[in-house]
Structure 1
């Protein structure tokens, strides 16, 4: 993990590790020398990889060394202390916070290692030994468990969840696949904003939860995650002044999904509830609460995507959307719930999030290997090819309408089944609340069907140029949903890296051709900025998420703050 942390800090050029250092050639390879200003320096051994995934340099053993006395800094605490000494004093709290995050991630990594065999046996007993036959929405939740035990392709401490104990992780985290009952809060009806179809939800009345019967007329029961039901909820109620009542009696059993704050109802597997948590993942500023405005944006984005599907017949049977039009909130980021409804008719379908593809499979190999065995004659590259063909066609079509989604590996599921003896692949999308939209391009392509900007809450969604849309398309679709699998499958020895990167490039080039590559056409814009550009945007996740405040990083959105890296898709890279 330490090497991954140092490589991420190098990629993001933290305290000038990349741009302020001098390269030294030594018998064992290249070292970077970063002067510290006190007649001393930090020395970092690096290896060059061309093409490299978002960076041309990576940290290597023996990690970091102080030049003056040769002391090796081989753990994250000593590394972050040394780097914090080079940072602006106002930023040092962020470096301390990231050192804590590293310790938390290491503790979780050790916990995962210690419990791996136990959890694999649990999944095998419950769902069978072959993941390719874990069919239906209920069994599909089993894929979230190995996915949660697999490192993020970019963020080095992705397993950390701030502030949670080992007991809380075992009880509520997706990597342990444990069922638990939901808590409920009776909230005054006149203080709730309700949108969508709530009448058919299996929700209790306050009196059925043991609360006074008179509350049934004035209050409505709203689900609360058990991790939120203590101090965080009391603080939220104090902040809002709500006359709300927390029921002691739990109701409805749930299973955690990969995002943890979203839970699936075990008796109703087609219904997931996204519930706010007072924790953070992928950075201390990346809190798992739910801002009410994101609920509005998710519903509006869903309508926009349905419009695109409606005018593009080839996607009507191949791209499915979870229904995120129903939500309830009381004007506070800890007092909200999104009701996510999944499409019907998936009982005989293998529903697997993309994030699970490179995870270890029960019985050996990777999840993608077992899926390929059943659906693609044992060829994982053929499966990846099919996924890329459909995914890039869809995402580039969206770009042609001026739209890019933050649909990373966790938010896309593959739907695999056999239809008339042939494999059928479809894609299922969820959590679409953070898109970027070039308003002019959208209006030009959709005309009267283009939604008014007023339907969305977040003013950052709409832009007046392609650049923010291209940044999001590149960092999410290209890096996380295409490039990461090329490098990942090569690392696992499934195919040569050159061949896999050629596959990604060719499928993206074909998608660009469909959009038109004449001057100013969307395909030409994509080709110029993605396929033929020397550098590509990369997410500076550690910097924006933990090391720096928003004021210091300048990030209006910490999930859309960028640096640059080499274009591994460029011919001759």
Structure 2
């Protein structure tokens, strides 16, 4: 969903542009809410009546005598997907109708038709967070109009008419990948109802800190007493101080010198990066005792970074081989407070060690899978109290970025960026890659699905590892010709693993266990790992790309899901000889014929996150009969 430049660039009055963008963002919110209401079963999709002779116009009779909602342009797609692209009207019993233009009004009209009785506080919270999303979305789109124009002008001056080749020509692979990561931060998760909500941040804070504004964020390199920290590292990191000094040589010298000038021995301290907003708005108040006791020293050098799509994972501008840094930021975004728990600190390096060994054994699954190692991490843990909980807002993960130092010509493109408008043309970025490839869109998609499903299914069936290959965690490695070659995956702290399969292959993953913390290593049932894979890779990623390609190129509803079905079946066949027969058949049936389970994000929000693992099943799109390849063919 992208704004067309031509729709706004000739307007002379700034307020007109603001009104247009605000209206666009408001409709974006309505579209997301309607999609979630039907997908999650909060509203019964069978109550939606499409008008005879018009496959895109439908009505919904409201409970409580509130009348009828009329949708002028709503489309049905596989996997219980209903996308509203038109106006909505409330029709009263006397035939009079009124437009429904606000999310508050829509929610009020629909709430009596929900399959549960929501608390007023839950409804109020949803309205507030959707409103905050609309405001932030409007501001981001205003900035994007300017940024698009600047990039398009630079491309024109360089004589380039294609975006990704221009980036390859202008920047290193690392810098191009990060530019694309920020570029793709505009749209957010496609069906998160509160996709841009950042309560507690001012408009200025959002613009100063967010990737969609091409931000630069300083980190303060504080000092945490070594005996007050738990450190987890991959085996090759023998000594954290040596590792940090190698990764950040100038920063290490500056940090070390400041400690020495205070008469302190740097070996007794750890350099802890803290996000600038988090430092001023959380750490100095919530860790005031630790600061007063000299456990945490908040003076130190600053490090300038680029925030990535997740907001709180950043990439230093210098030095050129420095790692990503993942940090806690005490801001509620999308569905949770962005802490960084001890579980992530411990499990990231542990699972990285195992995946590195697996990829060495498997040849990278035909060189289709690469990953960002989480080399080392630590969190505050008081030497006497020995409680993990206080460290969730005083912690860090260092993620190796040298995988960007590639010699194969592949450009990593974050999946969400594929859906984002090009700077010089009012089409999503994937259209440029399809054109560069010389393939038709169906053949391009088939190659894409193969590049993703082969490694994801293989590592799941062979080793029980669930890769969270959703739009934000996945980068696709594209050849210079725009063809998908493989998957570059990141973020393993909350990844899920089925331990029995891993042990069968000779690997052991030590789980993190702490009261009240949900497990990520499972012994008795593979279902939580399967759901993780289906939700991230199939629902949030491949299904969304099939929707976007179908809309862009006019495919009949089911054709690209048939391609996805064929490639998923082929991915299962590719490892069949190496997997227990019963397991293989069971898992194949679950992926190919059973409902696809995914997180119920809107329901959780309305119910104020009393349960973080509510899920719902979507109708499996692989069960749809193959339709005509093209509309009108």
Regarding TM over 0.5, the answer is yes
Q: Secondary structure at the match of 2:494?
A: coil
Answer yes or no: is 1:451 the counterpart of 2:509. Answer: yes
Q: CA deviation at 1:224?
A: 0.9
1:392 paired residue number: 453
Deviations along 1:394-437, one digit per CA (max 9) or x if unpaired, are 1111221333222211111122345xx99782321110222333
Structure 1 residues 259 and 191: alpha-carbon distance in aligned structure 2, compared to 1, 3 A threshold = same
1:273 paired residue number: 325
- 183-192 or 127-136, larger mean C-alpha shift: 127-136
Native 8 Å contact 2:476 2:486 kept in 1: yes
2:570 paired residue number: 510
1:263 paired residue number: 314
Task: Decide which of 252, 261, 283 is 1:233's aligned counterpart.
Answer: 283
Answer yes or no: is 1:104 the counterpart of 2:166. Answer: no
Answer yes or no: is 1:333 the counterpart of 2:370. Answer: no
Structure 1 residues 543 and 89: alpha-carbon distance in aligned structure 2, compared to 1, 3 A threshold = closer
Task: Decide which of 55, 63, 74 is 2:101's aligned counterpart.
Answer: 74
- 304-313 or 518-527, larger mean C-alpha shift: 518-527
CA distance in 1, matches of 2:194, 2:47: 25
CA distance in 1, matches of 2:256, 2:499: 48
- Report the TM-score, using the length of structure 2 for normalisation: 0.78
Structure 1 residues 11 and 499: alpha-carbon distance in aligned structure 2, compared to 1, 3 A threshold = closer
CA distance in 2, matches of 1:67, 1:188: 70
CA distance in 2, matches of 1:494, 1:23: 24
1:184 paired residue number: 221
Task: Decide which of 29, 41, 44 is 1:13's aligned counterpart.
Answer: 41
Answer yes or no: is 1:62 the counterpart of 2:66. Answer: no
2:623 paired residue number: 570
Q: CA deviation at 1:324?
A: 0.2
Deviations along 1:32-85, one digit per CA (max 9) or x if unpaired, are 33423xxx3463335775543433686963255676996654311233345567
- 63-72 or 178-187, larger mean C-alpha shift: 63-72
1:169 paired residue number: 206
- 265-274 or 123-132, larger mean C-alpha shift: 123-132
Structure 1 residues 505 and 64: alpha-carbon distance in aligned structure 2, compared to 1, 3 A threshold = farther
Q: Secondary structure at the match of 1:280?
A: strand
1:254 paired residue number: 305
Structure 1 residues 66 and 186: alpha-carbon distance in aligned structure 2, compared to 1, 3 A threshold = farther
Task: Decide which of 358, 369, 375 is 1:319's aligned counterpart.
Answer: 369
CA distance in 2, matches of 1:49, 1:515: 37
Native 8 Å contact 1:300 1:455 kept in 2: no
Structure 1 residues 64 and 342: alpha-carbon distance in aligned structure 2, compared to 1, 3 A threshold = farther
Native 8 Å contact 1:256 1:263 kept in 2: yes
CA distance in 2, matches of 1:50, 1:35: 22
CA distance in 2, matches of 1:439, 1:549: 32
Structure 1 residues 214 and 542: alpha-carbon distance in aligned structure 2, compared to 1, 3 A threshold = farther
Give the number of equivalent residue pairs. 553
1:287 paired residue number: 337
Q: CA deviation at 1:379?
A: 4.3
Task: Decide which of 260, 263, 270 is 1:214's aligned counterpart.
Answer: 263
1:150 paired residue number: 187
C-alpha RMSD over aligned residues:
3.4
Answer yes or no: is 1:435 the counterpart of 2:533. Answer: no
Point out where structure 2 has 5 or more consecutive residues left out of the alignment.
Answer: 1-27, 382-390, 627-633
Deviations along 1:507-538, one digit per CA (max 9) or x if unpaired, are 011112223399953442233222223x3323
CA distance in 1, matches of 2:428, 2:100: 34
1:407 paired residue number: 469
Q: Secondary structure at the match of 1:279?
A: strand
| Larger fraction in helix | 2
- 265-274 or 156-165, larger mean C-alpha shift: 156-165
CA distance in 1, matches of 2:571, 2:52: 45
Structure 1 residues 253 and 314: alpha-carbon distance in aligned structure 2, compared to 1, 3 A threshold = closer
Q: Secondary structure at the match of 1:542?
A: helix
Q: Secondary structure at the match of 1:268?
A: coil
- Report the TM-score, using the length of structure 1 for normalisation: 0.85
Point out where structure 1 has 5 or more consecutive residues left out of the alignment.
Answer: none
CA distance in 1, matches of 2:490, 2:459: 15
Deviations along 1:185-218, one digit per CA (max 9) or x if unpaired, are 2222211222333323214455645895224445
Answer yes or no: is 1:200 the counterpart of 2:243. Answer: yes
Q: CA deviation at 1:247?
A: 4.3
CA distance in 2, matches of 1:395, 1:324: 19
Native 8 Å contact 1:515 1:522 kept in 2: no
Structure 1 residues 42 and 240: alpha-carbon distance in aligned structure 2, compared to 1, 3 A threshold = farther
Native 8 Å contact 2:379 2:394 kept in 1: yes
Task: Decide which of 355, 363, 366 is 1:305's aligned counterpart.
Answer: 355
1:91 paired residue number: 119
Deviations along 1:116-146, one digit per CA (max 9) or x if unpaired, are 2321244457787543232411121111233
CA distance in 1, matches of 2:615, 2:540: 14
